[in-house]
Amino acid sequence: MTRAEVTIAGAGMAGLAAAARLRELGAALRLLEKGDRPGGSMLLSSGFVWRYRSFELFREQCPDGDERLQRVVHERLDDALAWLERLGAPVLARETANPLTAGWRFDTARMTEALVRAAGGVELGASPGERDGPLILATGGFQGDRELVRRYVAPAGRLPVRANPWSSGDGLRLATARGAVVVGPLDEFFGRAMPAVETIPPEQFVAAAQLYGRHALVVDLDGEPIALIPSWSELDLVQAIAHPPGGRAGYVL
């Protein structure tokens, strides 16, 4: 009996890792990427892959997360980091320099290359369409779609895209069209406070991140302080800035 070919939609970190692992297991697969390159937004990141140092700390920091998924991440990430290194992903650092977290930093460009090799290649400019057979949706981001961002994240705001621009909700739409259900609010997101300019080149995303809000007085556009003591990651501060009209704030140092 011939095994069905697995289609993987999205060649970011999730899709690349899924394809590489399936190839190790001997599965027949096609890895499809809508954009003009693999790597997704991971390629534009600083390259840290990390977990909290203890599961109790994980729950304390992320109490609303799915506890089962959090436990999988916490218990399996260290083995996954070693697996990435065996595939040829270069490790730049084996510590995060954060007392709350443990993990490694990778060279994102060369990690992408290593995963593409392990996956057996990627088809660019391709989407799954109405394909039959097993389908892994490794895409669901919608930061490149203004309408979806307004619907789920910032109704009155216009947020700059600090990610690959072709993440426009195709995976989310495909999943819901096939009966999937969106769980929980979608207005929590990973982001960074960025300079309030029209565009920032992707190669400058990491350097341009304004990751010092916890040392500043943060005020809204009317000059009123944003009543929030930011967490170490400042993701809560970024979301607080994004939700009001304008999606802007000022830092007084």
pLDDT tens digits along 91-124:
999 999 999 999 999 999 999 999 999 999 999 9
Residue bearing tokens 């011939």: 2
Helices (H) and strands (E) in the chain, counts: 8, 9
pTM metric for this prediction: 0.89
Q: Which residues contact 233 (CB under 8 A, 6 or more apart)?
A: none
Angle between helices 13-24 and 67-87 (to 10 degrees): 70
Give the DSSP H or E segment for 176: helix 170-177
Q: What is the pLDDT of residues 20-57, one digit of tens each?
A: 999 999 999 999 999 999 999 999 999 999 999 999 99
Dihedrals phi, psi of 202, to nearest 5 degrees? -55, -35
Query: Please, which pLDDT band fits residue 2 given cuts at 50, 70 and 90?
Result: low
| Length of the chain in terms of residues written | 253
